[in-house]
Structure 1
Amino acid sequence: MGRRRIPDGAEHRRTPAVDLPAGTLDVSTFSTRLLRLETALERMSHGVCFFDGAQRLILANRRYAELYDIAHESITPGMPLRDIIALRFAAGSCPRMTPEEYLVWRDEIAERNEPSETVVEMANGRTVMIKHQPMPDGGWVATHEDITEQRRAAEHIAHMAHHDALTGLANRLLFRKTLDEALAGDGAGIPAALVWIDLDRFKQVNDTLGHPLGDLLLRAVAGRLRNLAQPGDLVARLGGDEFALIRRHANAGDMAELARRIIDALGRVYELEGHRADISASVGVALAPHDGCGPDEMMRNADLALYRAKNAGRGCYRFFEPEATLRMQVRRSLSEDLRRGLGSGAFDLHYQPLIEVPSRRIVGYEALLRWRHPERGLVPPQTFIPVAEGAELIVPLGDWAIRRGCEQTVALAGRPKLSVNVSLRQLTPDLPPRLAAVLGETGLDPARLEVEITEHAMLRDTEMVLGVLHGLRNLGVGIAMDGFGTGFSSISALQRFPFTRVKIDRMFVRSIWASGGDAALLRAISDLCKVLKMRITAEGVETEEQFAAVIASGCDEAQGFLFGRPGPLAAAPAWAPPEVY
């Protein structure tokens, strides 16, 4: 008989042998053992069936019949396999093939005469794991397990690892992977385009209508971008109100038309639960290989094109042009100001409280860097931190922040913890000894200090970062994973990296409040962290309803505007206004 491959990706591997009662037993003993076997089978959660060498049923338990939606009394000992298969196909509990094809597949398994394990996708949407064990007389015993929910859970976890929790679009990890693949195709003469999209006036919506409606707006934007995408495109949310689209087989004319359609679609008025929101979008476009052959170069050039669009008045698009140097001049000017600011006392720390759940007792503070520019005023961290990293100023700036935080909090009553953010560039092998020196000089107990790192810090030089973090733990310093739920497969990272605390990202938290079914997911993450002996903190708590949900989830701490906005330590609890956050 010719070999056939079972549809839907069947997989085979070894499984343990099963022994049946010997045929030499007297009738009474055999009947007794058979009764015991039947009783044991009825208690099993898996479907089990025994067939002899002539493909006739010896026995099957009730779970086998239930699994395939057939009446248990309709299958009796001595019944041919073909008749049982006919019942299954009549009930719709069968693979996506004809009964004859199924029997041929069964014969092929029997011909191999070896244990096997097969995953079968059923026509009714179920997924069944079948473990087959041959017997010496040509018969077999098989167990049938419904793994539908396991499959769905695995697919859900995989989706979470590569998609933004709020919008469902691709996240940075999947975006970068897809961009790498698209640009690799350029070597075969396949052009690719990167479209960088930033929303104009989005902050005003957040400030006037509130973050929940701001989240609804981001979901609506994501939906409009999906409608503009072609098969093969990737639409991603890169963070905040920044989006991107990757398209293969692109040319300048097509991308100009797409940019115009994006601006038109995103610029139409949004209806958000009775409120109207009016925004626009600025778009930057880079074309490979002319504007770059590597992902970093393409992203940088698309970002430069976007800056030109914003500088041109927003609500428009621009292609990358090599001579467009304004953005670089601005960055250079900011980096020079940063150098001067480091030596002139232009930086300070604001602190946001970390509260214990459910007592609301302050147990720590997160130190947040602030820069008061002599001309620009208060420059937000999202503006100057990237400049500091590009100008190689982030290490001295970060060291200053750690030392300042230790000096300001060492004598606080109640010995609260101090949490400081550390960037990837700071995670070098000399960080533990530098930190040890600061702790020794300021007198802060290492157990009161905690460094926060983002998921993205673990994407590069993983082994080096792992060594640095273990060095910090050896000092007694805590390590928090910041922004959980917005990047790559964080669950596996929790097991590998020596974290003492996990911070659930504010956007992920808000998406859970918006969907009651996802509250169970936060509870599961909380339970996992407790098993791993890590504390869990919910960020972005702004209302009493959200705090009640945090309490119900089992989180240990919470942080957010409900408990205090960032501000100078001496001003607590009169925290700073929202615009400095």
Structure 2
Amino acid sequence: MLALGLISTSLFWYLADFHPELLGISDAEWFAPALMLVFMAGFGGYANGLIRELRSHATEHHRKSEEARLLARIDPLTKILNRATFLDDLNAKIRTAQTGAPVALFVVDLDRFKAMNDIFGHAFGDAVLKRVGHVLGREVGVENAGRLGGDEFAFMLTGAVSQSICETVGNRVLEALNEAVTVSGRSVQIEASIGVAWSPEHDIDRLDLMGCADLALYLAKQGGRGRVACFDSGLMKEERYRRQIERELRGAILMNELEIHYQPIHGLTDGRISSLEALVRWRHPVRGLISPADFIPIAERSSLIEKLGDWVFARVCADAAHWPGLKVSINVSPVQLKARGFLDMVKKCLLATGCSPQNIAIEITEGVIMDEMAGQAEHLRELRALGIGIWLDDFGSGYSGLSYLRDFPIDVIKIDKGLVQDMASNHANRVFVSAIAQLGHGLDRQVVAEGIETEADLTLARAAGCSHAQGYHFARPMAAKDIAAYAGFGASIRAA
């Protein structure tokens, strides 16, 4: 009898661990009482110890099963739902929303997380991600929040859904996220943007609903980051227009519908043309001349920006090779600058056209430096080593960090036209422009006042100490064929 009991017990443990379906049970704990009766009838006093062992084994089995179930649902770093579980739950709530309570999807993206991760290290980045998971779990519940991957999170809201409700909830989450994170004595504010869409009003398909929320997220980032934006039908119209322009731009690059115009930059001491800024134009056969402000952002959101940037660089180098003594600046997108093959592309263009690297400069904005601070310094130094000039464009329009001028190989500072054009009516702007000019000269940098459109603008730029100026008061951007006659290759050009 004892041998039979031991065999039965061993068989039970084996089946409970590896083949519970053969026992016809969902949990070993439910099987234990039945087995206890058998042993009590057959073994008497020995049954008590065996029952305790069985109960302990069943409890441990249940604990491990529960842990495995949770691990399959939870992101191990942030302790909220993982991507697969969150999307499955979202699918279920979207189906329910068609006949029951609506569901709103909030997509959360951390602003400039990659820069923080690169500068402060992965341990700091992980601490930020944990903090975001903690805040989302606290504010909306762990069962409603998920990490979609990297620094992208999402959460759901069911029940009464409207734009005002979603904006209120989103702003509450942003405010909660805005608490500083401190790791090893380093402290930083978490900034995020949120895009919102809801079902069934905006869509009843999960992928399409996520696309709507992503469009709203893009709108939030375009509006200055740190914002909540809700999807509307106008966004979908804009998205269709964007896709159409993207397709047509792809063809324009192949069909040579793009043109490069050049705007002169003058020295304010002698009036001579010192350099040119290259500006791309798209002469569409149906739409006419399309502004770069319309198609450059579209190109930046797609893979086209690299192709467009490569085309511009090659064309400018070919033109600049015919203008000895004139440096030509090219606006470079942050996406293009980050591309692995960018430096090789520059070298190939210079070699193919015979253009000297001393004739070329690239213009970058403060946003380029801020978004990718850790990696950009090295890229810029490599370009500088080739002899390419580095110009900081629109200085004063963004963060205007003085550390940029110290830590990056900047040759020229171009003051944003918004500061320059308001000098006549704004005393503070006059002080700012004068301070930037003095700083630039102290660091042996040229300082260009952008947006000079009137004689008054020119007078104030000179008084502020700017060394160079650019704007319609001198000349509008012109085709390459007109540059030789206008510039005279170093001839003195006085402002009218």
Q: Output the TM-score relative to the length of structure 1.
A: 0.47
Change (3 A) 1:441 1:400: same
TM-superposed deviation, 1:357 = 0.8
| Partner Cα separation in structure 2 for residue 355 and residue 425 of structure 1 | 30
1:474 partner SS: helix
TM-superposed deviation, 1:442 = 1.3
Partner of 1:420: 330
Q: Quick one: which of 339, 354, 358 aligns to 2:250?
A: 339
Contact 1:354 1:363 in 2 (8 A): yes
| Partner Cα separation in structure 1 for residue 262 and residue 412 of structure 2 | 19
Partner of 1:367: 278
2:355 partner SS: coil
Partner of 1:568: 479
Contact 1:485 1:505 in 2 (8 A): yes
TM-superposed deviation, 1:529 = 1.3
Partner of 1:545: 456
Change (3 A) 1:522 1:326: closer
Answer yes or no: is 1:189 the counterpart of 2:139: yes
Identity level (%): 32
Partner of 1:527: 438
1:513 partner SS: coil
TM-superposed deviation, 1:512 = 3.0
| Partner Cα separation in structure 2 for residue 289 and residue 361 of structure 1 | 59
TM-superposed deviation, 1:497 = 0.9
TM-superposed deviation, 1:410 = 1.6
1:465 partner SS: helix
Answer yes or no: is 1:387 the counterpart of 2:298: yes
Partner of 2:217: 299
Within 5 A, what are the aligned runs for 1:374-453?
374-412=285-323, 415-427=325-337, 428-453=339-364
Change (3 A) 1:304 1:407: closer
Change (3 A) 1:469 1:304: closer
Within 5 A, what are the aligned runs for 1:123-142?
none
| Partner Cα separation in structure 2 for residue 184 and residue 459 of structure 1 | 27
Contact 1:186 1:288 in 2 (8 A): no
Contact 2:412 2:446 in 1 (8 A): yes
Within 5 A, what are the aligned runs for 1:158-557?
187-189=137-139, 252=162, 254=164, 287=196, 298-300=216-218, 320-321=231-232, 325-412=236-323, 415-427=325-337, 428-557=339-468
TM-superposed deviation, 1:540 = 0.3
Contact 1:486 1:505 in 2 (8 A): yes
Within 5 A, what are the aligned runs for 1:26-41?
none
| Partner Cα separation in structure 1 for residue 394 and residue 197 of structure 2 | 32
Change (3 A) 1:522 1:429: same
TM-superposed deviation, 1:300 = 2.2
Contact 2:215 2:235 in 1 (8 A): no
Structure with max Cα Rg: 2
Contact 1:183 1:293 in 2 (8 A): no
TM-superposed deviation, 1:452 = 0.2
Contact 1:183 1:295 in 2 (8 A): no
Q: Calculate the aligned-residue CA RMSD, in Å.
A: 3.9
Partner of 2:52: none
Write out per-residue CA displacement over residues 106-127 of structure 1, whole angstroms, 9 at most, x where no aligned residue: xxxxxxxxxxxxxxxxxxxxxx
The amino acid across from 1:189 in the alignment is: E
Change (3 A) 1:287 1:337: closer
Would you tell me which structure has more helix in proportion to its own residues? 2
Change (3 A) 1:303 1:461: closer
Change (3 A) 1:295 1:319: closer
Q: Output the TM-score relative to the length of structure 2.
A: 0.54
| Partner Cα separation in structure 1 for residue 167 and residue 385 of structure 2 | 57
Contact 1:347 1:371 in 2 (8 A): yes
| Partner Cα separation in structure 2 for residue 184 and residue 376 of structure 1 | 50
Change (3 A) 1:408 1:183: farther
| Partner Cα separation in structure 2 for residue 574 and residue 295 of structure 1 | 50
| Partner Cα separation in structure 2 for residue 537 and residue 405 of structure 1 | 21
Contact 1:186 1:289 in 2 (8 A): no
| Partner Cα separation in structure 2 for residue 323 and residue 357 of structure 1 | 47
Write out per-residue CA displacement over residues 459-478 of structure 1, whole angstroms, 9 at most, x where no aligned residue: 22322211110110000110
TM-superposed deviation, 1:551 = 1.1
TM-superposed deviation, 1:334 = 1.2
Kindly indicate whether structure 1 or structure 2 has the higher relative contact order, using CA contacts under 8 Å at least 6 residues apart.
Answer: 2
Structure 2, unmatched stretches of 5+, are 1-110, 117-128, 142-159, 169-193, 200-208, 224-228, 488-496
TM-superposed deviation, 1:404 = 0.8
1:565 partner SS: coil
The amino acid across from 1:425 in the alignment is: V
Contact 2:450 2:471 in 1 (8 A): yes
1:542 partner SS: coil
